[in-house]
Every structure is written in C-alpha cells, then in structure tokens.
Amino acid sequence: MANNIKRIYIGAICNRDFEVLEQLKKFLLKNYNIVILDLLKKASNSFDIKYFKRTLKKYPISLLIIKLTTQKLNEEIYNSVKEIAPNVQILNSLKSVQTCESRKETFKLITQKCKKLTIPKTYFSSKEAFKACMNGERIIVKLDDHNIPDLPKNDRIIGIASNINELMEIMKDYNEKDLFFQEYLGRFDIIYKVYIIGRWMVSITSHNRLQDNDNLSPLELIHIRVPIDKQFKSRIKRLGRKFGMSVFGLDYILTEEGPYIIDINDFPSFRSIPEAISLISDHIYNMILLREQYYQTLAKVKVK
C-alpha cells in the first residue's frame, strides 16, 4: 500500500512513551509511506533549536507530534515551534500540550469552557483549600505538574486532609505553587479511562492507584470495556475541541450524581488499547490529507 503513496514527513518532539512512538513509526512507514523524524537529539534526548531548524529546512514536514514530560525546558520548545514552524500542523495543539502539563490549568480550562462536565471542586490556592477544609471538606493534595519524569504516579499524590492540621502537615515540605488542591470524593475501587482518537472513543475499567492493589487476581486486573453514555460522549468530544486535542484520554469515576472527571491526558500511552496504533496512524494520515485538500481548494479559488 505504502509504495503507491508519496513519501510524507512528520516530526516528533517526544520524550515519553517511546514504545508507542516506535510502533507508530513502523505502522506509518509500512502503510502510508510516512516517516517520523525525531526532532530531539538522539544522544541526549534533548531539544536543540539549531538541529530543529536544520531538520525543518531539510524535510517538508507536514505535521508535528509533541508528547512531553513536564519540565521547565519545555518553554524553549513551545517558543521555538511558534517562531520557526508557525504554519506546521500539530496533532494536539501546542496550547493543549502546555495546558495539560499543569493540573491547575487543566481544571481551570474545564471550569471555564466545559461547564456541563462535572469535576470535583477545585481550589486554586491554599487559602481556598483551607477555607473548604474549615467547612468540613476533605481535600486531596497532588503535585501540580502532570507528567513528571521518573516519578511514579502514586508519588504525585501527596495526601488527603480531613482537617486544617492535616492539610498544614501535608503542605509543610512543599511550595504552594507546586501543589494542586481538590475535593476528595472518597474511595472508588474502579477508575474508568476513556481514550479518544479523532471521532473514535472507548472506555475501559482500571483499578484505582490510591488503593492497595497487590492482592488483585489476574482476572480483576483485566481492563473491561464499558459503554459510554451518549450525552457524556458528546461532552467529552466538546472538551477535546475546547482544548484543541484530537488524541487524548481522561479518567472518571461514577458517583450517584453521575460521572466525575478526575484527570486529563494529552496523548496517553494507549497500552491497554491494541488497535490504537492503527487508529492513530489513520487519524494522522487523514489530518494531513484534509490539510492538503484544503490548500489545493484554496489555490484553485485564488486562480479563479
């Protein structure tokens, strides 16, 4: 199939979930004659603006995939992409990748733009969290940074406070700006994960990382696919549009009041979704094709 399609180049600025990237490289090359170029230096896995410029000059890159751990150096990447490649299409918008680095910014955007989605009460300062705690609210405290390199996901949860003293104890070794405060909704053994690729969407079950899962049987560890309510599905798609993401994931819990979204991921690992590589590859090819068709139509209109 790939032999009948012209060669296309896309760039990858990725330093997490390398397994997914390698599978994408193989599938895209074999089926669509699309080459993924690494735009981070192989030796150091670091971003170099000169190397970025040279690669963009050498290859006609049609699309960028940006998938990053959360670190201060990312600011240089964002600025370079804006300055050097302002017209290159991005799989998930630059703004969405940047927003999803911070839990505060993620939930702030949901609060502002996706008001029909339900999330735990979120407190954007310690003052708000202390006030809620004084009113009897239990507070879960997490690190604000979302994809911290080499830090297990459990360690990103600092603790759960039932009163002011517990909250102060949890916070004592941290800077407030590094923390994220949210209403703690209680123990939920099952977390539901939703994966979205373009118009395609699937939901699976997953055991809550906050609980002790060492004694789970192999059967209990299986991810079971579950249906998604039509209205909830529509609201998730709207969230993707508001964020500027077409490949993303979210976690939610089911309560008596309905689903509560508790996490958003730009381009998750998709480890539990066997067909993901094929679907992402199809989506990437269609994005590039639609963009080309748009410019061809625009050129014809200008000629007339």
Stretch 61-83: mean pLDDT, rounded? 96
Q: pLDDT (tens digit, 9 = 90+) per residue, 132-168? A: 999 999 999 999 999 999 888 888 999 999 999 999 9
pLDDT for 222 equals 63
Q: pLDDT (tens digit, 9 = 90+) per residue, 221-252? A: 568 999 999 999 999 999 999 999 999 999 99
Tell whether the model's pLDDT for residue 72 goes beyond 60.
Answer: yes
Q: C-alpha angle with apex 165: 162 to 152, nearest 5 degrees?
A: 65
pLDDT for 208 equals 64
CB-count exposure of residue 160 (10 Å: 0-12, 13-18, 19+): middle
Q: Are strands 34-38 and 247-255 parallel, antiparallel or unpaired?
A: unpaired
SS3 letters across the chain: CHHHCCCEEEEEEECCCHHHHHHHHHHHHHHHCEEEEECCECCCCECCHHHHHHHHHHCCEEEEEEECCCCCCHHHHHHHHHHHCCCCEECCCHHHHHHCCEHHHHHHHHHHHCCCCCCCCEECCHHHHHHHHHCCCCEEEEECECCCCCCCHHHHEEEEECCHHHHHHHHCCCCHHHEEEEECCCCCCEEEEEEEECCEEEEEEEECCCCCCCCCCCCCCCCCEECCCHHHHHHHHHHHHHHCCCEEEEEEEEECCEEEEEEEEECCCCCCCCCHHHHHHHHHHHHHHHHHHHHHHHHHHHHC
Tell whether the model's pLDDT for residue 253 goes beyond 70.
Answer: yes
Amino acid at 170: I
Q: pLDDT (tens digit, 9 = 90+) per residue, 108-133? A: 999 999 999 999 999 999 999 999 99
Contacts of 272 (CB under 8 A, 6+ apart): 193, 204, 206, 223
Token look-up 């699937």 returns 202
Domains delineated in the chain: 2-91 (3.40.50), 121-183 (3.30.1490)
Q: pLDDT (tens digit, 9 = 90+) per residue, 276-291? A: 999 999 999 999 999 9
pLDDT for 296 equals 80
**By the 8 A CB rule, do 117 and 110 touch?**
yes
